[in-house]
Amino acid sequence: MTNKWNAQLYDQKHDFVSKFGESLVDVLAPLPQEVILDLGCGTGDLTAEIASYGAYVQGIDASTEMIATAQQKYPTLSFQTIDATAMQMTEEFDAIFSNAALHWMKQPDIVINNSYHALKQGGRFVAEMGGHGNIASIVSALQASMELLHFSYDEHYFPWYFPTAEAYQAKLEQAGFTVKMITHYERPTPLQGEAGLRNWLKMFSFNILQRLSEDEKERVYAQCETLLKPSIYQEGQWIADYYRLRFMAVK
């Protein structure tokens, strides 16, 4: 299943992804001359942030659209279109960094194993992703809206993997990592403007709604807004129910 990304919409309406990720760069604490992989780099903002510390950074993403935008924005940095499940690197990196990307990768064991092999001995894997319970209200509203409008909801098209801390730690340890820190926390996330929820759905629900026409999608968006307004619309602001999983693991 290939996710189709709108890089322009991502940068214009969803810059909170990179902004929240800035604190994760502090956890990474990049050092000058370190060689670091930004796994699922998107449009490259955090890749550039890491590079500003004097590290050598390689940004990879499965989306050609995201990589093209990253290259345009940061022409002096290195970006490649690579799917993490097809990554074949051996002891190349001092650290792997990943923000808001691992939950799009539904073969976590392969991704974790590939990451382990890509790290030098003693290298660190620092990441944040969607955790158990992430956007549960939005997912429920999408399903309910499709049913109310008599569109079939297919679980096969659900594009995310939101694990518990316990489940993900077990996978990291099974691959050989030592988990230094792992935390699951609630992070209510404001969405931009009156159309915040609609823009979020346009950006991130494309897989679930891929079989619908544009008109049908608009009806689903409107139904979701109606269902969710009483619970996640507060004082003129849409607040998404985000739960994040953040960890540092060492090879």
What pLDDT, in 10s, does the model give residues 123-147? 999 999 999 999 999 999 999 999 9
Helices (H), 87-187: 108-118, 136-148, 165-175
| Average pLDDT over every residue of 202-230 | 96
**Per-residue model confidence as pLDDT tens digits over 12-44:** 544 444 555 568 999 999 999 999 999 999 999
The number of angstroms, rounded, from the C-alpha of 22 to the middle of its chain's C-alpha atoms is 14
What are the sequence ranges of the domains in the chain?
Answer: 7-250
Q: What is the average pLDDT value for the chain, to the nearest integer? A: 92
Give residue 14's pLDDT: 44
How far is it, in rounded angstroms, from Cα 175 to Cα 161? 18
Amino acid at 172: L
- Per-residue pLDDT band for 233 (boundaries 50, 70, 90) equals very high
- Could you tell me whether strands 243-250 and 178-186 are parallel, antiparallel, or unpaired per DSSP bridges? antiparallel
Beta carbons of 97 and 124 less than 8 angstroms apart: no
CATH topology of domain 7-250: Rossmann fold (3.40.50)
Q: What is the pLDDT of residue 23?
A: 87
pTM score: 0.90
